[in-house]
Chain A
Amino acid sequence: MTYSLRINGEDRAVQDATISESLLFVLRERLGLPGTKGACEQGECGSCTVVMDGEAVCSCLVLAAGAVGADIRTVESISPPGEYNAVQEAFITEGGVQCGFCTPGLVVAVQHLLDRTHDPSDLEIKEAISGNICRCTGYGRVFAAVRAARDARRAGAS
């Protein structure tokens, strides 16, 4: 089957696809957007997080053919190559990256949190990323990164 998805503001044709394919599979294997990662296929780990019509979702649980008409934003939309937004910069400088496999999903989830919550508390941060499993960092440097991004914005706003 052939259909079109709206990814990062562009209409992208998906050709000769099987109807059972997940949004994660289509992004990675058909549309050349491998930034979104797959690690559990059950919506448990958050590595495949994308924003769909303003909601953070696990793209492994979304049927791609069912996402026609939705506005889908992936990690590739957050910054152009070689440039980092505040969240990405904070992950780099605060040590939030080790193996990096969970990182794209975390970056999308954190950006989504900061987009909808002006000044999240530490506990709100913990809860917001509790669907993103990181096996390397133990979350300490991830929290530090999110707090740094939050505090930078707070300082910028004042």
Chain B
Amino acid sequence: MSTATRTDAPPRAGTLGDSARRPDAGPKVQGRFSFSSDAWATNMLWGATLRSTHAHARIVSIDVSAALAINGVSCVLTADDVPGKPTYGLIDADQPVFARDVVRYVGEPLAAVAADHPETCLRALEAIRVEYEPLAPLTDVMRAVDPATPAIHPRGNVLRHQRIRRGDPTATGPIVVEGTYEIGMQDQAFLGLEAALALPDDDGAGLELYVATQWLHEDRKQIAECLGIEPERVRLTLGGVGGAFGAREDISLQVHCSLLCLRTRRPIKMQYGREESFLGHVHRHPARIWMRHHAERDGTIVKVEAKFWLDGGAYASTSAAVLINAITHAQGPYRCEHAVVDGWALRTNNPPCGAMRGFGVVQACFAHESQMDRIAAAAGLDPVEVRLRNAMRTGDRLITGQVIDSVAPVERCIRETAEIPLPPPLPDRPDPLELPGGSGLAAEPSRVRRGVGWGVSIKNLMYSEGFDDSSTARVQLSGGIATLEFATAEVGQGFLVLAQQIARSVLGVDQVVLAPIRTYVGSAGSTSASRQTWMSGGAVDGACRIARERLFEAVGEEHGIDPIRLAIEGTDVVDTAGTLRVPVADATAGRTFFGDFEHHHRPTTELDADGQGDCHVAFAFVAHRAVVDVDLDLGLVKVVQVATAQDVGRVLNPLAAIGQLEGGIAQGLGLAVMEEIVLQDGRMRNPTFTDYLLPTSLDAPEVVARFVEEPEPMAPLGAKGIGEPPCISVTPAIVAAIRAASGRDLVRVPVRPQDVCLSGPALAPSSGC
């Protein structure tokens, strides 16, 4: 449980700092919350997507006539039926709405059908005849980066290359350690499958779309372009979102569903099953990373060299941005003067990859934290000491030359984590459920070894590289009730309750009404990059402050008081230099005060040819210590405890914050020991929850968390984003603990049982800490 120490008075119920109750929790526990998959309309049809069965093939022909002849089928659409732009995509729009001449991955959409029942849709999909001419798939990034390899797309196989050169490329030290690391393809695996309901509007020229997404306005832009209609004719409302974690940042079924709706002029419901969900959204980039560190004899880092190869899959998605995040975080949360880093995001015939919680930094962190333990071993230091010795502080520079002007309590995160007591040793007669293998009852207690490992990370917050990011909010204050309107996607993270807390704190009200989340207001940007507390929180805060100023002006005029003397105290307007005290409810009775605000963060710049530039907005830091039990014979791992101290700036809702930390840790645990999309020639071998393993309650470790609260002056509320850091350095911490328990030199995640028990002779196990 979290143990943030507070000495000040407890906040008023429901305001900032309180574990305020989520407004969506009540409907959710009753099953009465409406998720996008629950949307329903009279007279609706079901939509479904035909997908490529080849990783790479020329399309010779598509014959839809047999599908159209089936009773109940209303229409079948292919590439010929896309009236607007034939492609979409977040950065480079290179993903075809429907493949026309070539398919480039297994699962690429070819056609969409609308019919009266999901079963009719399936029959129609089976009736579509596609003749392919198979081509050799390109599935290896090391081949994709080779200029001699034929391009699989007119834009080539290199989605982006960027280098970073800083300091003296010849700098070295007495310690030189290197390794080559691999990170497997992780799936976001949100529970609420992709779903949308499209409703034609009255004149049939536009539509309303209820959809689970992370970014309504970006979806609208891409949909309108593909439909060839004005964005104003596409109105989006957020359908209830069952988790996102990056997988809803790209378009999945939005365009297909909208096209079917415009064509049939009927409501269209589309929803993916789990297997189609695996095919229909982007994943975390698999990566191969070579890294070499040069250090002084005392473990002080001199230089980092690295090469990153990220597998972007068939289409661009956000690969270009993921790559920049990966390479600009190559040094980790440590001082490093000299750097020679190159990164490539590559196009292959594997499934497209894009955003997932941690966005490139997860991959970099696994490499740099594995390297830190190698430096520690070479310098004769323990894992804590080597990290403290190199810990970044405010004022230090990234290898991009950017000065870290965020609060940077790296040392404090490490020390506070180290202070957390270790768990008791495994009892002599443990319950089998507590052993590696859990309910499989597989482990032999005498062959179980315990290990401890560390991971520390730095994560950029918000978007980078010159993107002018903003969020908009609007408030009406009347009769002691605030009504908020914004387009911020609530995907489960808890922005709705945070927005209410802000309004209660700033305006002195208890009741805060939330308007539907839709495109009727300005964009809020994406719920990603740990940015909404900062960006949309800043927008709501700004809007409420404007409404409050107007309230103070009105009250001041009525009472002959300079408005600058007025303040909110509890639920009253008070004169700080006098005796006036008016309840906000009375002061706002019968009249309305408005506030509109668009929050921008400070500008960033692009990187130059040598990877130099102030490309990021701000940073957050976190430390993790993992304790694991490993069955040496079976290679099974049980994560016993994760201790963490996270730099959060300021805790705005303790219960919501601890939920983010614990949830992120579970996802990082998944990447460490179980989660991987297994590919063979570009084909997913395990696109189901039977075969793609997710952490269950029996896999969940004890999490002991501390919040490091040093308010961030740049942040509107003093609070940093907290969504991504929890899942980043916990993965290398767990792997380091497995190395310590098993003596194996593990260089890839997830760690599989055979990596622990079948990969050659083990070194002598050590305590690791």
Contact = CB atoms under 8 A, between A and B. Distances in A.
Interface of A: 18, 20, 28, 34-42, 44-45, 47, 74-76, 78-79, 81-82, 84, 87-88, 91-95, 97-104, 107, 123, 125-127, 129-144
A24 to B, nearest CB: 11
Given A100-B24, A103-B28, 4 more contacts: A79-B30, A84-B26, A101-B190, A126-B697
11 contacts: A37-B37, A37-B191, A40-B274, A42-B688, A44-B689, A91-B29, A98-B494, A123-B433, A133-B191, A135-B190, A141-B655
Interface in B20-73: 21-22, 24-35, 37-38, 40
Contacts of A98: 243, 492-494, 659, 663
A139 B662 contact: yes
B697 A18 contact: no
Given A136-B243, A137-B663, A138-B663, A37 B25 contact: no
B666 A138 contact: yes
B492 A127 contact: no
A42 B529 CA distance: 32
B427 to A, nearest CB: 12
Contacts of B38: 28, 34
Given A18-B119, A137-B663, A99 B31 contact: no
Counting from the closest, the 8 A-B pairs by CB-CB distance are A35-B31, A99-B492, A100-B28, A101-B242, A138-B666, A138-B662, A75-B31, A140-B662
Given A84-B26, A99-B491, A42 B274 contact: yes
Contacts of A94: 655
Nearest to A125: B697
Contact of A141 (B26, B662, B698): B662
A100 B242 contact: yes
Interface string B229-259: 0000000000011111100000000000000
A9 to B, nearest CB: 16
A84 B29 contact: yes
A125 B27 CA distance: 24
Nearest to B39: A34
A99 B190 contact: yes
A136 B697 contact: no
Contacts of B35: 34, 37, 100-101
Contacts of A40: 274, 688-690
B94 interface: no
A122 B694 CA distance: 21
B135 to A, nearest CB: 32
B193 interface: yes
Contacts of A143: 697, 700
Contacts of B32: 35, 76, 81
A106 B658 CA distance: 20
Contacts of B243: 98-99, 101, 135-136
B521 to A, nearest CB: 23
Interface string B191-220: 111000000000000000000000000000
Contacts, number: 194
Contacts of A102: 191
Nearest to B494: A98
B22 A92 contact: yes
Given A99-B492, A137-B663, A140-B703, A88 B698 contact: no
A138 B22 CA distance: 18
A98 B490 CA distance: 10
Given A97-B22, A135-B189, A138-B666, A92 B29 contact: yes
A134 B40 CA distance: 25
B31 A104 contact: yes
A120 to B, nearest CB: 13
A136 B698 contact: no
Contact of A142 (B274, B439, B697): B697
SS of A interface (majority): loop
A137 B698 CA distance: 14
B31 A76 contact: yes
B656 interface: yes
Residue among A95, A107, A130, A144 with most chain B CB within 10 A: A95
B37 A38 contact: yes
Contacts of A135: 188-191, 243, 245, 663, 666-667, 694
A100 B30 contact: no
Residue among B29, B433, B491, B700 with most chain A CB within 10 A: B29
B493 A41 contact: no
Contacts of B242: 37, 39, 99-101
A141 B689 CA distance: 23
Interface string B173-189: 00000000000000011
B14 to A, nearest CB: 13
Nearest to A90: B29
B191 A95 contact: no
B516 interface: no
A39 B274 contact: yes
Nearest to A100: B28
Nearest to A45: B689
A86 B695 CA distance: 27
A41 B32 CA distance: 21
A154 to B, nearest CB: 20
Contact of A137 (B27, B241, B659, B690): B659
Interface in B653-669: 655-656, 658-659, 662-667
Contacts of A136: 243, 492, 659, 663
Residue among A34, A101, A132 with most chain B CB within 10 A: A101
A158 B689 CA distance: 42
Given A84-B30, A101-B35, A130 B663 contact: no
Contacts of B689: 39-40, 42, 44-45, 133
A125 to B, nearest CB: 8
Contacts of A133: 191, 689, 694, 696
Given A39-B191, A123-B433, A139-B666, A130 B696 contact: yes
Contacts of A38: 37, 193
B273 A47 contact: no
Given A42-B688, A98-B492, A98-B494, A127 B191 contact: no
Contacts of A36: 31
B505 interface: no
A130 B33 CA distance: 24
Contacts of A95: 19, 655-656, 658-659
Nearest to B245: A135
Nearest to A139: B700
Contacts of B439: 127, 130
Contact of A93 (B21, B33, B658, B663): B21
Contacts of A123: 431, 433-434
B117 interface: yes
A93 to B, nearest CB: 7
Contact of A39 (B30, B192, B492, B662): B192
Contacts of B663: 98, 135-138
A97 B28 contact: yes
Interface string B281-302: 0000000000000000000000
Nearest to A97: B25
A14 B1 CA distance: 47
Contacts of A82: 26
A102 B119 CA distance: 26
A147 B532 CA distance: 32
A80 to B, nearest CB: 9
Given A92-B25, A100-B28, A137 B662 contact: yes
Contacts of A134: 191, 697
A85 B439 CA distance: 30
Nearest to A107: B29
Nearest to B244: A99
